[in-house]
Amino acid sequence: MPWTPGDDVIAVQRAPEPGGAGGVYRAFGETLRGLKTTFARMLERPATFEYPEEKVPVYPRFRGRHKLHRFPDTGLEKCVGCSLCAAACPADCIRVVAAENTPERRVSAGERYAAVYEINLSRCIFCGYCELACPFDAITMGHDYEMSDYSRSDLIFTKEMLLAEPLERTPLRTADE
């Protein structure tokens, strides 16, 4: 019984059978077919994204630069300074120093808050374990991937930078894309 490939199977195209005048004819035909292929590509639109002007939209799951979150109603920080993210981090790039909330100065919803929260983005591997480890969804991965800078110290993001409403410079893919 002959095997008939389905539509999902790509038929491999082999080189023409060599030998004899027929081989010469077939090789010549294949040469012309090659020329036709490249010429047809010239008539199509280039597949290039001209990057700085035109950005490729990212998927919602894309793991870009981190964000820290506040409660939208009270404006208090979600982070309670538990350091679980720092413990989960395989690249050891998160530094958390916790401090107690006082009645005069409430920063977070919990008992303590993060006095220092730094992520060294030059070490971060964007694995997203911090996001998984966080019990309060205080840290999530954003969509921003344009983080290059001129010095290493500028890549250490402080709490204020992570809390600040991030400048979304990256288009998000819509459902139908």
Partner 1 sequence: MIDVVAPFAEVGYAEAWWIQILKAIIIFLVGFTLVPLALMLDRKLMGRMQMRYGPNRVGPFGALQPMADIGKLLFKQQFRPRTSVGFIFAFAPVISMICAAAAFSIIPFGDTVDIFGAKVGLYGIDVSVGILVAFAFSGLSVYGLMLGGWASGSKYSFLGAMRSAAQLISYELAMGLSLLGVIVTAGTLSLVGIVEAQSGMWFVIPQIVGFLIYIVAAFAETGRPPFDLSEADAELVGGYSTEYGGGRFAAYYAAEYFHMVIASAIAVTMFLGGWQLPFGIDPPTWVDPIVVIVKTVLVVCFFVWARTTFPRPRYDQLMALGWKILLPLATVNVIVTAILVVVTH
**4, 13, 48, 148: residue in contact with partner 1 (rule CB under 8 A):** 48
Q: Which of 14/105 has CB closer to partner 1?
A: 14
Q: Could you tell me the sign of the dihedral formed by the alpha carbons of 123, 124, 127, 133, in that order?
A: positive
**18, 22, 29, 34: residue in contact with partner 1 (rule CB under 8 A):** 34
Residue 9 Cβ, how far from partner 1 at the closest point, in Å? 25
Q: Which of 3/51 has CB closer to partner 1?
A: 51
Residue 79 Cβ, how far from partner 1 at the closest point, in Å? 44
Q: Which of 18/90 has CB closer to partner 1?
A: 18
